[in-house]
Amino acid sequence: MLAFSDVAAVFEEIEKRSGRLEMTDVLATLLKRADKGEIGKLVYIIQGILAPPYEGIDLGMGERFAIEAIASASGYTKAQVESSYKKSGDLGDTVEELFGKRKQTALSTSEMDVGYVYDAMLKIAKASGTGSQEQKIKYLVEVLNNSNPLEARYIVRFVIGSLRLGVGDPTILDALSVAKSGDRSLREPLERAYNVCADMGYVARMFYDKPESISGFHVQPFKPLMPALAERENTPKAITERLGKCAVEMKYDGFRLQCHKKGDKVELYSRKLEKMTSMFPDLVAEMKKVKAKEIIFEGEALAFDKQKDRYFPFQQTMHRRRKHGIEAASKEYPLDLFVFDILYLEGKDMTNEPYEKRRGEVERLFKGPVLLPSGMKMVKSAGELSKQFKDALAKGLEGIIAKDLSAPYTAGKRKFAWIKLKKSYGKAVDTIDAVVVGYYLGQGARAEFEFGGILAAVYNPERGRLETVARIGSGFSEDEMKSFKENLEKIKTKQAPGLLDYNVEPDFWVEPKYVVEIAFDDITKSPMHTCGLKEGKGYALRFPRLVRLRTDKAMKEITTTEEVVDMYELQRSRSA
Ligand code: AMP
C-alpha cells in the first residue's frame, strides 16, 4: 500500500523540477509503487480531480471553509490562520507552517494510504444539502488530524482546487508508460485510450490490470470521447492544397453535443464533457427514435427562430444551457441538432473508419426533422470551396469546416483532418480562445465601472502551463463590463493561478475559469507576455478585443501556444 506521506514527498520533489523529462521520471517512480487498486485514485489526485468531468463530482470547498478546518485541526484561531495566509499567499504553505508548530497534537495519527485520502476527499465532495458545509469541514478536519505538515500542504491545496503540480496530462501518460515498460513505448496507445474515454483513472486501472490490452482499448457508450478539434487555414487555396478533393461542411455557431445511446438509455455531453442530458428533453426524445440500438454521434445544436424563419445567433442559443425553466426554454428556443459525425455504431468503434464512411452513416441515419445531417458539399478546387464559404457567410454562419475524406476521427487532437475557415472580424483573420487569469481596474471614463479589462492566457499542453498572450481592454459593452466584473470578483484569488507563467501583473488575479474569444489584428513578439517565451520575448496579440464569453469551452480546450506560433508563421507567410 502506498503511503500518502510518500506521495506528498514526491509532489514536493516534482515542484522543485521544471524539465518535463525529469518530472516524468520522478512521477514514474511513484506510479510504479501503486497497486492495481490504487493507481486510478492516485492518477486522479495528480490531476487534481476526483473523477472525470462527466461524473459531476466537484470538491466545492471554498477557501473560507478550508480556513475553518485548518484552525480547528491546528489549534490556532481563524484570525491567526488568516493572517498567516495573508503573508504566505498560499493556504497550503500556511497549513504546513502551522502544523509544523502545531499547538494541539492530533488525537490519532495513523498512517494514511492513497486510498484513504482519496476516499476522504470523495466524502467531502459528496456531502450535500443543508448543513453540508459543516459536514465538509468536519471531514476535512478528520483527514488533517491524521496528516503531517507536508501531507496537509497538498490536501489543502487539493480541496481548494489549486494543487498546481505543473504536471500536464501528457506527462502523466508518459510516466504511466515508463512505470510499466521502463520507457515511453506505450505512450501512444495510452494517449489514444485517454482520448477516447476522457478518464485517465479508468485508463490507468485497465493498464495496470492488463498492460498489453491497452492497444485494443476502444470507444464505449457513456464514456465520452475528447472532441476532435479543427486546424485553421486562411484561404480556400491553402485548404485544397492540403486536402485535394474534400468535404466542405457548414460551420454552425451553436454548442457541440456528444450523444450516447444504448437501448433505452441516452446521455448527452457538452464539449467540456459535462453531462447535459437533463437540459435537453426535446433532443433526448428524438434520440430515442434513432434507428440504431447503440450509437455515439456528435452534432452542433442551434435554436430556431420561428418568427424570423432562421437560426438564432449564438447568444440566444445559449439560453438553452440552463438548469431551470427547461420546459419553457425548449418552447421558446426549439433546438435542431446538425449531426456531423458518428463515432460508434452497433458495437463497432467507428473512429478509425475514414470520414467518407462515417458521413455515409450520418446521412443514412439522420433525416430530420430535428436531428439533421450537417450541410455538406464535396469540392475539388479552391474556387468551389470559396463558393461554399461565401454561401455559408450569406446564410449568417461562421464559416466552413473542410474535412479530409480519408481521415479517421482524431479524438482529442487538432489535426488537419478538419480545417476551419472563418469569417474575419474587421482586420482580424481569426480569433483565439483564451482563459481569463486576471483583471484591471479602470481609469478615466471607465472608472465608474472600475473595470479596465482582462489579462488572458493560452495553454501549453506540453508544459502543462498557462501562458499570457494579451491584455484586453476593448470590445466590452457597458453592461458586459459590469456583469463581467461582478463574475470575476467572485473568483478573485490572492495569488496568480498556480499553472500560470507571467511577466505582467493585473490588479487582481482570478481562478482560470472563464474562456473568452478574442479578435486581434496580428501577432507580435513582446517581453510582456509568456506565450512561447524564447530569449525574453513571447508572442502577443496586437489590438486584442473581446468577441464574446465562451461558456461552452473548457480551460483545456483553449487555443494552445503552438497554435499561436502557427498563426504567427501563417501571418508572416501572408505578408512575405
Ligand atoms: P472552433 O471552436 O472555432 O475551433 O471550431 C470548431 C467547432 O465548430 C467544433 O468544436 C464544433 O463545435 C463547431 N462546428 C460547427 N459546425 C461543425 C461541423 N459541421 N463539423 C464540425 N464541427 C462543427
Angle at 324 between CA 319 and CA 326, to 5 degrees: 65
Give the three cell numbers for residue 357: 464512411
For residue 106, give the DSSP letter: -
Which atom belonging to ligand 1 lies closest to the Cα atom of 255? 12
Domain 4-159 sits in CATH at: 1.10.3260.10
314 C-beta closer than 6 A to ligand 1: no
Closest to 521 measured CA to CA, from 567, 487, 480: 567
Q: Give the residue numbers annotated as catalytic, written as ranges.
A: 251
pLDDT at 38: 96
Give the three cell numbers for residue 7: 506521495
Ligand 1: distance of its center to the CA of 172 in Å? Answer: 28
CB 96 within 8 A of CB 150: yes
97 C-beta closer than 6 A to ligand 1: no
Q: What are phi and psi of 29, to 5 degrees?
A: -65, -35
pLDDT at 573: 64
Residue nearest ligand 1's atom 20 by CA: 340
d(CA 425, CA 428): 5
378 CB-side CA count, 13 A: 8
Residue nearest ligand 1's atom 1 by CA: 230
Angle between helices 200-209 and 169-181 (to 10 degrees): 10
Please, what CATH class does the domain formed by 254-377+405-422 belong to?
Answer: alpha beta
Ligand 1: distance of its center to the CA of 251 in Å? Answer: 6
Which atom belonging to ligand 1 lies closest to the Cα atom of 376? 19
420 C-beta closer than 6 A to ligand 1: yes
Q: Per residue of the chain (576 residues), give pLDDT as tens.
A: 899 999 999 999 998 887 888 999 999 999 999 999 999 999 999 999 999 989 989 886 888 899 999 999 999 999 999 999 988 888 999 999 999 987 555 555 678 999 999 999 999 999 988 888 899 999 999 999 999 999 999 999 999 988 888 888 999 999 999 999 999 999 999 999 999 999 999 999 999 999 988 999 999 999 999 999 999 888 899 999 999 999 999 999 899 999 999 999 999 999 889 999 999 999 999 999 999 999 999 999 999 888 888 888 888 888 898 888 999 999 999 999 999 999 999 999 999 999 999 999 999 999 989 999 999 999 999 999 999 999 999 888 889 999 999 999 999 988 899 999 987 755 556 789 999 999 998 776 555 557 889 999 999 987 878 999 999 987 777 787 788 888 898 888 888 888 899 999 999 999 898 999 999 988 999 999 999 999 899 999 988 998 888 887 877 789 999 999 988 887 776 655
pLDDT at 102: 74
Ligand 1: distance of its center to the CA of 229 in Å? Answer: 8
End-to-end CA separation in angstroms for the chain: 61
Domain 430-575 sits in CATH at: 2.40.50.140
Which atom belonging to ligand 1 lies closest to the Cα atom of 375? 19
Which atom belonging to ligand 1 lies closest to the Cα atom of 227? 10
Which atom belonging to ligand 1 lies closest to the Cα atom of 422? 3
Mutation pick for ligand 1 pocket among 248, 256, 258 (CB with most ligand atoms within 8 Å): 256
d(CA 52, CA 154): 20
* Domain positions in the chain: 4-159, 254-377+405-422, 430-575
Residue nearest ligand 1's atom 23 by CA: 251
Q: Which residues, other chains included, contact 155 with Cβ-Cβ below 8 Å and sequence gap of 6+?
A: 117, 121, 140, 143, 144, 147
pLDDT at 333: 92
Q: The cell 481596474 sits on which residue?
A: 441
256 C-beta closer than 6 A to ligand 1: yes
pLDDT at 103: 59
Tell me the helix, strand and coil percentages in the chain, rounded to 5.
45, 25, 35
pLDDT at 168: 86
Ligand 1: distance of its center to the CA of 545 in Å? Answer: 22
401 C-beta closer than 6 A to ligand 1: yes
Ligand 1: distance of its center to the CA of 340 in Å? Answer: 9
Residue nearest ligand 1's atom 8 by CA: 251
Ligand 1: distance of its center to the CA of 227 in Å? Answer: 10
Ligand 1: distance of its center to the CA of 292 in Å? Answer: 24
Ligand 1: distance of its center to the CA of 250 in Å? Answer: 9
Residue nearest ligand 1's atom 6 by CA: 230
Q: The cell 489514444 sits on which residue?
A: 192
563 C-beta closer than 6 A to ligand 1: no
Which atom belonging to ligand 1 lies closest to the Cα atom of 250? 19
d(CA 90, CA 97): 11
pLDDT at 313: 85
300 C-beta closer than 6 A to ligand 1: yes
Total residues belonging to the chain: 576
For residue 211, give the DSSP letter: G
Q: How far is CA 278 from CA 56, 303, 357, in A?
A: 13, 17, 31
Model confidence, pTM:
0.83
Longest alpha-carbon distance in the chain: 77
266: which strand partners?
261
SS3 503: coil
Ligand 1: distance of its center to the CA of 572 in Å? Answer: 26
Burial label, 131 (beta-carbon count in 10 A; 0-12, 13-18, 19+): exposed
251 C-beta closer than 6 A to ligand 1: yes
Q: How far is CA 289 from CA 268, 299, 371, 502, in A?
A: 15, 16, 10, 51
270 C-beta closer than 6 A to ligand 1: no
374 C-beta closer than 6 A to ligand 1: yes
